[in-house]
Each structure stands twice: as structure tokens, then as C-alpha cells.
């Protein structure tokens, strides 16, 4: 299947990165390479792009889409490991980093990956197929309380306890193997009158996907590490797609900016607050109405930008 992906807020990201022709840039979520292609068009032969993705299928597609460029380094890894990746490449600091978080359009459309609540496919949801933990493991092996907590925390699902209870009741008879089985359990757990806000399984599938791929727990530290990997004046652009991601990014930016907590009547700072830079976006940038109409994935997207000092 072709790796189709329309990059979200492409112009806003390119502008936000403030690209230098001979700079070094990192796309930490390479995917279909839509953002990366535009970055590379603005780089000279002395510039460099490092493309990171944990999905090998994404990397293969990106190599094909970027075959006209010879200043790209492809890395099969997780952007959470950015410091180790750059150290291995003997690169001290970079001029810009882009993270487009969440699941890609391709991963959702490629039904056998198990990300989609449409159709009947094996419960998988791994972005990196080499890892052991799958959605099937989460659904069939987690305790009821742990299931309820993660569905509530990562999916913000008000009926999380009922869903977790019904999952555990179902699996007493047989293992839950397919996305269709899980969807049917979820649908029976949510009263019909509350099933008019999108697909009833959307929030639970999001929660399980986040758990499988460990998308939230390291995010704050990842943002901090990315900022520390920037040269002075370097930019970090992060696109999030739900409030849990956005909150982690926002908090990391605020802490990295630093805030003096000393009483105002002191003549100088004694609290030791250290600033790594400035938040460029006082409020997150959102997609235009035109883009939202054209690309449904952009509807919930938020872009936040940080500049290293």
C-alpha cells in the first residue's frame, strides 16, 4: 500500500522552523516525509536532514519519496532517543526539530496494523513492529482497574470503568483477538444516547494505542531533550492531536522558558531559575478552515514553537 500522507500545517511548520540553507534539521516523525521534503527543498547541498521513525514501513516509503535528495540520514528509532541518536552521528547541536505526533494516516488506513476501529483486523497497534507489546496483550492481560484507568486517562472516556468491566467479562469466555470484537464490547458499554459524538470506540482505541506505543510518559522529557539539542536560535516545532499530548508539550515549554519565583521586592534573582529560550507561540497555531475542510486530520491539530537562546 502506498504511504499517502498530507502533512498537517505544512506552511506553518516551515515558517516556524525558520530554516537556514546550510542548517541541520531533524524530522523526528518522518512518516510519509511530507514535511521533510519541503525542508529539503530549502536546504543547500551543505544542509542536512535527519529523518527518524520507529515504523520501518514509513522509513521505506520516505526513502522512495525523498530519493532525489542525497543529504538525508535515515534512522529507525524513536524520537525519545534523540540525544543518543545525535551523539551516535557525532552531531552536537541542530538548527531545528519537527515532531508530528500521533498515528499517521497510513497507519490508520492500513487496516492490518490494527489502529482503526473500522473493519475486522487483528489487534496490534504497534508503530514499531519489532516491539513485543501489542494491543491484544493490553486488552487481554491488563487488570480491570488498570484498563479502566488507562482508558480514562489516555482516552478521556467517561464510560471507562464500564468498558473495562465488559472487556474482562468477555475475555473470561475467549481471548479478544480482533478490532471488531473490541468495538462491539465498547458499543455495548456506552449508552446509545451518548454515542453521537463521533465513533464510540474512538477514545478507547486512542487510549490503547497510546499505551502500546508509550506515547505520553516520556513526552515531557523528550521535549526537554529536543530543546537541549538545539543551537542558539534553533527552533522546535511540535504538532499535537489531543489535549493530553498538548498539555505535556505546553508544560515542558513553560518549564524550559523558566520563571523566576523570587519575591518582587528582591533586587536580583536568588531562586536559580534558568531559561533555555522563548516560547514563540503564546497560543498554539491551528489549521486554517480551508485545511480543516481538505484534511480531516488537521481538525484537532495544534502547533507549538520554542526557540533556543
* Sequence ranges of the domains in the chain: 10-102+216-308, 131-211
Strand partners, 27: 51, 98
| pLDDT above 90: residue 176 | yes
Digit-coded pLDDT (tens) for 43-60: 999 999 999 999 999 899
Contacts of 119 (CB under 8 A, 6+ apart): 111, 179, 180
Reported as half-sphere exposure (CB side, CA atoms, 13 A), residue 217 has a value of 7
Average model confidence (pLDDT) across the chain: 94
- Tell me the CATH number of domain 10-102+216-308, given options 1.10.260.40, 3.40.50.150, 3.90.1150.10, 3.40.50.620: 3.40.50.150
Looking at the predicted structure, is the pLDDT value of residue 1 above 50? Answer: no
Domain 131-211 -> CATH class: mainly alpha
Cα(22)–Cα(44) distance, integer angstroms? 6
Position 3 scores a pLDDT of 54
pLDDT classification of 285: cutoffs 50, 70, 90: very high
Give residue 81's pLDDT.
98
pLDDT tens-place string over residues 6-31: 899 999 999 999 999 999 999 999 99
Mean of the pLDDT values across residues 262-266?
83
Amino acid at each position: 500500500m502506498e504511504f499517502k500522507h498530507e502533512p498537517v500545517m505544512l506552511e506553518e511548520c516551515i515558517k516556524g522552523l525558520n530554516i537556514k540553507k546550510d542548517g541541520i534539521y531533524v524530522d523526528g516523525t518522518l512518516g510519509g516525509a511530507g514535511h521533510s521534503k519541503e525542508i529539503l527543498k530549502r536546504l543547500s547541498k551543505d544542509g542536512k536532514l535527519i529523518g527518524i521513525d520507529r515504523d520501518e514501513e514509513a522509513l521505506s516509503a520516505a526513502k522512495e519519496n525523498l530519493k532525489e535528495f542525497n543529504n538525508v540520514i535515515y534512522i529507525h528509532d524513536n524520537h525519545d532517543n534523540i540525544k543518543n541518536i545525535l551523539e551516535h552521528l557525532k552531531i552536537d547541536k541542530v538548527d531545528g526539530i519537527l515532531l508530528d505526533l500521533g498515528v499517521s494516516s497510513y497507519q490508520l488506513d492500513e487496516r492490518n496494523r490494527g489502529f482503526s476501529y473500522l473493519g475486522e483486523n487483528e489487534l496490534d497497534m504497534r508503530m514499531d513492529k519489532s516491539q513485543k507489546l501489542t494491543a491484544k496483550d493490553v486488552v487481554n492481560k491488563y487488570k480491570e482497574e488498570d484498563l479502566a484507568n488507562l482508558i480514562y486517562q489516555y482516552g478521556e472516556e467517561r464510560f471507562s470503568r464500564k468498558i473495562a468491566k465488559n472487556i474482562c467479562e468477555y475475555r473470561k469466555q475467549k481471548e479478544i483477538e480482533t478490532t471488531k470484537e473490541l468495538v462491539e464490547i465498547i458499543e455495548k458499554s456506552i449508552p446509545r444516547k451518548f454515542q453521537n459524538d463521533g465513533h464510540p470506540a474512538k477514545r478507547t482505541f486512542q487510549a490503547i494505542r497510546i499505551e502500546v506505543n508509550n506515547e505520553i510518559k516520556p513526552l515531557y522529557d523528550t521535549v526537554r531533550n529536543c530543546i537541549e539539542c538545539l543551537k542558539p536560535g534553533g527552533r522546535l516545532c511540535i504538532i499535537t492531536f489531543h489535549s493530553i499530548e498538548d498539555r505535556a508539550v505546553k508544560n515542558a515549554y513553560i518549564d524550559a522558558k523558566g520563571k523566576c519565583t523570587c519575591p518582587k521586592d528582591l533586587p536580583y534573582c536568588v531562586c536559580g531559575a534558568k531559561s533555555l529560550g522563548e516560547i514563540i507561540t503564546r497560543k498554539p497555531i491551528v489549521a486554517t478552515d480551508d485545511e480543516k475542510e481538505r484534511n480531516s486530520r488537521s481538525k484537532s491539530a495544534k502547533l507549538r514553537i520554542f526557540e533556543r537562546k
